[in-house]
Structure 1
Amino acid sequence: MNGYEFSFSGQRLSALASGALFWPDQRLLCVSDLHLGKSERTARRGGPALPPYENRDTLNRLADDLDHTKAHTVICLGDSFDDLGAAESLTEAERLQVSTLQAGRRWIWIEGNHDPGPVELGGTHLAAWTCDALTFRHIALPQARSEISGHYHPKATLRTSGRSITRPAFLVDRSRVILPAYGTYTGGLRSSDQVLKGVMGPGAMAILTGRHPCCIPMPR
């Protein structure tokens, strides 16, 4: 399994190449910002037509991560659906795939700013959830400690050998981890953006996703 291992709040975590976070001691897989149904929502609101395959692609990648990690618990860190209409637009095949992924596992949907609240899918819906030392929520709180969140869709740029590589990235400092967006149709906010510069503390690191995850000082 391709990932970058790091220590956070006394826990050993792994930032996977896909953008998922794995906590081996808890057999827990965490993903953020799936934004399922984004192509449907974009078309419904008069935007450009997007190829309607992102749900299948996102769920297939999640299935692969679950197969490799054998996770017993899954945390979806909010904005799992693009809005209520997007959640309701899931096909029967997509609903069945979600149910198949949930089978035999504890599944927690954390509420996000896009999320419609409880939908007709299995699992538990919470505003935040704490396990041992770590608290999971959608949007980082300024004074939080040992916090894992999403929302910002961070990405970072690595400059090497005269070229630049920009990828979705995990941002990590002493108090928090911010996950990249996991969904297929999700943009990103550069780590140098003023918002993320304000959220992340001095000495923050960026772990770039991709075939070979790598850790660099967070570009500011």
Structure 2
Amino acid sequence: MTGLEIPFRGETLRALGSGALHWAARDLLIVSDLHLGKSERTARRRGTMLPPYETRATLERLAADLDASGAGAVLCLGDSFDDLDAARGLDGQDRDHLLSLIEGRGWHWVEGNHDPGPADLPGEHHAELTLGPLTFRHIAEQGAVGELSGHYHPKLGLPGCGGTRPCLLFDTDRMILPAYGAYTGGMPATAPELRALIGQPAFAVLTGTKPLLVPYPARAAGRGRRRF
């Protein structure tokens, strides 16, 4: 399984090219912001039609990561569904696929701002979860240590890379995961909201076929707006 090993708070986490993290010592795959059902929610609320394949694409990516890692448990760091109605209204084939991934595995749903309550699906539901030295929540908190979160959908571009890529941001105290779901927008990694959370030294892992580790820019190139 390809990826980059990252020492963090005495543990070793492997950043995968998909945006997931694999914590081998806990047999755990960690993902954030799947936003399953986004196209359905967008059509329902805005009347804007998107190709209705993002849930299937996201679940196929998740299945591939589970096959590659062999992880026996999954932790979803919030906004797993675009809203509760999207969770209840999953296409039958997609719901069956998700249930097949859950079956036989420990499954943890951390609450997000899009999905504040438990969906009618198997698994354990948490406002936040602490495992050993690490705490998992959807939105980062100032002053936290050993924290993993999502929410912001960070993205970063490099000269010659052909645009931006979703990225994992981390310093000595926290990690902020990229959005795992298809059709998710993003926030520039140098936006003020992320600058306020990420200290120095810090790094970014750009997603892709081969994840790329780069220093987190010490200075913001400009202000960014949240788009997700």
Same fold (TM over 0.5): yes
What interval of TM-score do these two structures reach, taking the shorter chain for normalisation?
A: over 0.9
What RMSD over aligned residues (CA atoms) do the two structures have, in Å? 1.1
CA distance in 2, matches of 1:47, 1:157: 31
CA distance in 2, matches of 1:133, 1:188: 28
CA distance in 1, matches of 2:168, 2:14: 11
Q: Are 2:155 and 1:185 equivalent residues in the alignment?
A: no
The correspondence for 1:207, drawn from 194, 201, 205, is 205
1:175 — aligned with what? Answer: 173
C-alpha distance after superposition, 1:20-51 (max 9, x if no partner): 01111111100000001110111111242100
Q: Are 2:105 and 1:105 equivalent residues in the alignment?
A: yes
* Local SS of the residue matching 2:46: coil
- Give the Å deviation of 1:97: 1.0
* Local SS of the residue matching 2:122: coil
When normalised by structure 1's length, the TM-score is 0.96
- Give the Å deviation of 1:143: 1.2
Q: Are 2:36 and 1:36 equivalent residues in the alignment?
A: yes
5+ residue gaps, structure 2, are 221-228
- Give the Å deviation of 1:166: 1.6
1:149 — aligned with what? Answer: 149
- One-letter identity of the residue aligned with 1:213: P
Contact 1:27 / 1:73 at 8 angstroms: preserved in 2?
A: yes
Contact 1:95 / 1:121 at 8 angstroms: preserved in 2?
A: no
- Give the Å deviation of 1:187: 0.7
CA distance in 1, matches of 2:88, 2:24: 33
5+ residue gaps, structure 1, are none
- Give the Å deviation of 1:165: 4.2
Richer in strand (by share): 1
Contact 1:207 / 1:215 at 8 angstroms: preserved in 2?
A: yes
